[in-house]
Structure 1
């Protein structure tokens, strides 16, 4: 029985990562395939070719992003984007949603963005309990006016889905800055602490040795 149990768990270690990876990729490809719905029915690949091509929506999405990016990179494209932003900013309700999303996307995806640049240890959800979080910036506007000390904005992701989490404002002195990369910190969070990031001090010692 001990041997069977060992084989069973060894099989899980081999199969589970591959199955989960395939499931995630299939879900992403399936979601992106929905972008084909923007094409006229006569232009649908399934209709033209007579069979379904998995992942064609991924290629279409990449092509659209590249084309839009190329057009928006020149002078005329930038002016068109500015005109569109000004138009949307005049529409009630829509402007508040659009401006918020645009600010977040500019921070996350722009080359000059500073979101998720530093992994830190913070006490959450109470004193004495620690978790890995990410500094996203510093408080501004009215919030900064009420905070007299040196505070930072922190995103505390949930496990194992780091796309949801909590936004908190904490004193900078209460954050312990980590040397681990953002990728290593995310792996640590998603794996629920199973995948431990390498110790940079130990790595330096091994290099010296």
Structure 2
């Protein structure tokens, strides 16, 4: 029985990651394939080839992103984006949603942004209990004036699903900055501590005299 149990768990360790990966990729490809709906019906690959090949939507999405990015990177494109932002900001209900989403996306995806660039250790949910969190910025405005001391804004993700979590503000002196990358910290969180990041002191090659 012990051998059967061992084989069962070994099989799960081999099958489950692959099955979940395939399921997630299948969902993403299926979602991106909906991009083909913007094309005229006569241009659909299914119509042209006579059969369905998954993944054309992914290619089309990448081409659209590259085209929009290239257009928005030049002077005329930036002006067009600014004109669009100004137009949307005049629509009563839409402007509140759009401005919030744009601020978050600018913070997360901008090359000059600092969100999720640093992993730290913080005491959460009480003193003496530590967890890994990510620095998202610093308090400003009325919040910063009230706190007075030097605080940082951090996101404390839940495990094993890091898309949910808590936004808290803690003193900078109470945060321990980690040398691990954000990817390594996420793997550590998702695995519930099973996949421990490598020790940077051990991975750094020693200099020869």
1:136 Cα deviation after fit: 0.7
The aligned residue for residue 106 of structure 2 is 106
Distance 1:207 1:24 in 2: 41
**Residues 124-167 of structure 1: per-residue CA shift (max 9 Å, x gap):** 22222221100011011221111111100001111112122111
- 1:185 equivalent in structure 2: 185
SS of 1:115's partner is coil
| TM-superposition CA deviations, 1:73-105 (whole Å, max 9, x none) | 111111111110111111112111111111111
1:91 — aligned with what? Answer: 91
How far apart in 1 are the matches of 2:12 and 2:18?
Answer: 10
For 1:202, the equivalent position in structure 2 comes to: 202
Using the alignment, how far apart are the partners of 2:43 and 2:23 within structure 1?
Answer: 29
SS at match of 1:120: strand
Distance 1:159 1:41 in 2: 43
SS where residue 3 of structure 2 aligns? Answer: helix
- 2:163 aligned with 1:163: yes
Q: Which residue of structure 1 lines up, in the alignment, with residue 66 of structure 2?
A: 66
Alpha-carbon separation, structure 2, partners of 1:71 and 1:29:
25
For structure 2, list consecutive stretches of 5 or more residues without a partner in the other structure.
none
TM-score, L = length of structure 1: 0.93
Determine the structure 1 residue equivalent to 2:119: 119
2:36 and 2:63 map into 1 onto residues whose CA distance is 12
Q: Secondary structure of the equivalent of 1:163?
A: coil
How far is the alpha carbon of 1:208 from its aligned partner? 5.7
1:132 is aligned to 132
Q: How does 1:17-56 map to 2 (within 5 A)?
A: 17-56=17-56
> Unaligned stretches of 5+ in structure 1?
none
The structural deviation recorded for 1:169 is 0.9
Q: Distance in 2 between matches of 1:141 and 1:37?
A: 44
Q: Counterpart of 2:92 in 1: which secondary structure?
A: coil
- What is the CA-CA distance between 1:55 and the residue it aligns to? 1.2
1:149 has 2:149 as partner:
yes
| Structure 1 segments (4+ residues) deviating >6 Å | none
State the 1:185 CA deviation.
0.1
